[in-house]
Every structure is written in structure tokens, then in C-alpha cells.
């Protein structure tokens, strides 16, 4: 479970973290889009993308790490995976109809 989240340890050595593996796994758990300089996450309950402040999505990533093992998270890891995540998230355009929610327009 740790390996799929980017954590490896060989022969009792120090635990190594690969932020690219972690974000690949995290992106199977969350759906996000980048729009107007902000990150929007898909809310499966309300079936729309909603803007989340950075503390909120950092808590989501923290929870994904903690599911695998408690007390393994370090601030240094967050400084590696957050910028990588922001680069991996697809860009979308907002039609601007409802502030705080990301809405799309079908083009025919």
C-alpha cells in the first residue's frame, strides 16, 4: 500500500518518497481542474467542480497518505508533491455563470 503511494524502504533503511508516484496515485482518487489560477475539485455529491482553498486540498492529500501509514507524512514531501500536482492538473475554461463553481458550455 505504501509503494503505490510513492513510499519505499529497502532493508530497514530510511523511507524514500517519490512525489511523482504519489500524485499519479492521488489523481486516481481526486478529480481536479485548473481554471483562472485556481484549483477546482470534483464534488461527487453535488456533481460539479468546486474551488477549494489550499489548506482543504492539502488535507485531502494528507488523508491519502495517512490511510497507508500514520506518522509518515513530512512537510518536505508536501513541498514536492503540491507543485507537481498543479502542473499535472488539466486546464479548463469557465463560462462564468456561477461564482465558485466551474461550469462548462457545450459547443456544437
At 58-103, the pLDDT tens digits run 999 999 888 877 778 888 889 999 999 999 999 887 666 556 665 6
Q: What is the pTM of this model?
A: 0.76
Write down the residue that cell numbers 456544437 correspond to: 108
pLDDT at 77: 87
Among 53, 59, 26, 27, smallest CA distance to 40 is for 53
**Whether pLDDT at 23 is above 60:** yes
**CA gyration radius, the chain:** 16
For the segment 101-107, the average pLDDT, to the nearest whole number, is 57
**Residues ≥6 apart with Cβ < 8 Å to 91:** 33, 34, 35
Amino acid at each position: 500500500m505504501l509503494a503505490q503511494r510513492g513510499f519505499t524502504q529497502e532493508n530497514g533503511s530510511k523511507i524514500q518518497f517519490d512525489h511523482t508516484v504519489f500524485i499519479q496515485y492521488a489523481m486516481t482518487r481526486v478529480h481536479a481542474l485548473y481554471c483562472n489560477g485556481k484549483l477546482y475539485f470534483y464534488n461527487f455529491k453535488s456533481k460539479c467542480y468546486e474551488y477549494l482553498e489550499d489548506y482543504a486540498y492539502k488535507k485531502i492529500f494528507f488523508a491519502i497518505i495517512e490511510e497507508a501509514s500514520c506518522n509518515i507524512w513530512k512537510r518536505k514531501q508536501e513541498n514536492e508533491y503540491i507543485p507537481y500536482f498543479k502542473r499535472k492538473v488539466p486546464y479548463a475554461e469557465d463560462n462564468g455563470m456561477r461564482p465558485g463553481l466551474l461550469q462548462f458550455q457545450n459547443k456544437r
